[in-house]
A = this chain, B = another copy of it.
Amino acid sequence: MYSLKELQELIHTRIENLQTGGEPKALYEPIQYVLSLGGKRIRPALCLLSYQLFNSSEPDDSIIYPAIALEVFHNFTLLHDDVMDDADMRRSMPTVHKKWDTNTAILSGDAMMIKAYQYMAMCPGKFMPEVMKEFNDLALGVCEGQQYDMDFETRNDVTVDEYLEMIRLKTSVLIAGSLKIGAVIGGASERDKGLLYDFGENIGIAFQLRDDYLDTYGDPAVFGKNIGGDIVNNKKTFLLLKAMQKAQGHVKDELEMWLKTTDGDDGKKIEAVRDIYDELGIPALSQALMNDYFERSMKALDEVKADDDLKADLKQFAVNLIDRVK
């Protein structure tokens, strides 16, 4: 049995040695480039942790490749998202459409998704119909989440519930699906497969809420990105949507005024909007909601019929997500 850290290392090494090269170079080099940029390899590691709950045999290619497929798919979504957002950098390196060009990024991304399906199809034949169903569902969910996220940019009537559904699709279904696919290939019961999915779905939402929270309230010295980016960009996170819902009178006027201020002093805007959030008690509401999802994820994990020892790493992973400061 491997720890989360060991599994991340294993996946890291396997991805480094993955043969994604070949001709034509312009198609395959960007795939290798994107996969070489690193990342925590969380999704494949969760898939393998979930597998281990139900299967004590040494993980072989029939589970490792499906786990890798999840990381390849995740990186494919980043590649195409970066084109759509016209982002310059990813993990401190130029994005594919900047290093090559937009057409290369589109087509390499397409090929990368197909590679993900190739790796996923290396699961044991008897599990393939179920694995494919899960993979297709999560893949489509991620696209739906990305579309909602883009739609929200131009909408002014987004509700908190719609936001939670968007982050469920964009972030959680891939984490939940990764855990479930591991459980399927591990041979788990229907009930346990469902519980692992629930665990992932709830922890994914908690994770995204935490991410939004840290963007506004994180310590700039430890949090990787600049603090306040979401406020500057009027990003419709839980914090802003909840504040818009609760604000009244002059507080509402003030918040709306700041939302219209897009070319002023960023630092001043961040401070002012954060003050409004504080006045409305938004940080506590965000923390409470996050804890709510965290508790739900713990409850689902507790009910999984597997050794507590084996579940310890998944539990620790969830705790780390919530306690993290960066």
Find A24's partner among B23, B103, B110, B151 (CB 8 Å cutoff). Answer: B151
Given A26-B151, A84-B107, A140-B111, A125–B129 Cβ distance below 8 Å?
yes
Do A115 and B128 have beta carbons less than 8 Å apart?
Answer: no
Chain A interfacial residues counted at CB < 8 A: 34
> Which of A53-61, A131-139, A312-320 interfaces with chain B?
A131-139
> A1-36 toward B: CB 8 Å interface, digit per residue (1/0)?
000000000000000000000011011000000000
Interface: A163 (CB within 8 A)? no
Contacting pair A143 B27 (CB below 8 A): yes
The reply to whether the CB of A217 lies closer than 8 angstroms to some CB of chain B is no
The reply to whether the CB of A83 lies closer than 8 angstroms to some CB of chain B is yes
Contacts of A140 in B (CB 8 A): 111, 114-115, 118
Contacts of A128 in B (CB 8 A): 125, 128-129, 132
A46 to B: closest C-beta gap in Å: 21
Is the pair A106, B106 in contact by a Cβ cutoff of 8 Å? yes
Pick the residue among B83, B118, B133, B143 that contacts A136 (CB under 8 A).
B118
Decide if A106 touches B129 in the complex (CB within 8 Å).
Answer: no
The minimal Cβ–Cβ distance linking A105 to chain B, given in whole angstroms, is: 9
Q: Which residues of B contact A117 (CB under 8 A)?
A: 117, 132, 136, 139
Task: Give how many copies assemble into the complex.
Answer: 2
User: With the chains together, A125 CA to B128 CA distance in Å?
Assistant: 8
Interface string of A192-203 (1 = CB under 8 A from B): 000000000000
Q: In the complex the two chains form, is A143's CB within 8 Å of B114's CB?
A: yes
Which one, B107, B133, B146, contacts A107 given CB within 8 A?
A: B146
User: Is B24 within 8 A of A148, CB to CB?
Assistant: yes
**Closest residue on chain B to residue A140 by CB atoms:** B114
Q: Tell which of B129, B136, B147 touches A27, judged by Cβ atoms closer than 8 Å.
A: B147
Chain B residues near A106 (CB-CB < 8 A): 80, 83-84, 106
What does the 1/0 interface line of A97-136 toward B look like (CB < 8 Å)? 0000001001101110111011001000100110011001
Q: Identify the closest chain B residue to A150 (Cβ).
A: B103
User: What chain B residues lie within 8 Å of A139 (beta carbons)?
Assistant: 114, 117
Known: A80-B110, A128-B128, A132-B132; 18 extra A-B contacts, CB below 8 A, are A23-B144, A24-B144, A24-B151, A26-B147, A26-B150, A26-B151, A83-B106, A84-B107, A107-B147, A107-B150, A109-B110, A111-B140, A114-B143, A121-B129, A121-B133, A125-B128, A125-B129, A128-B132
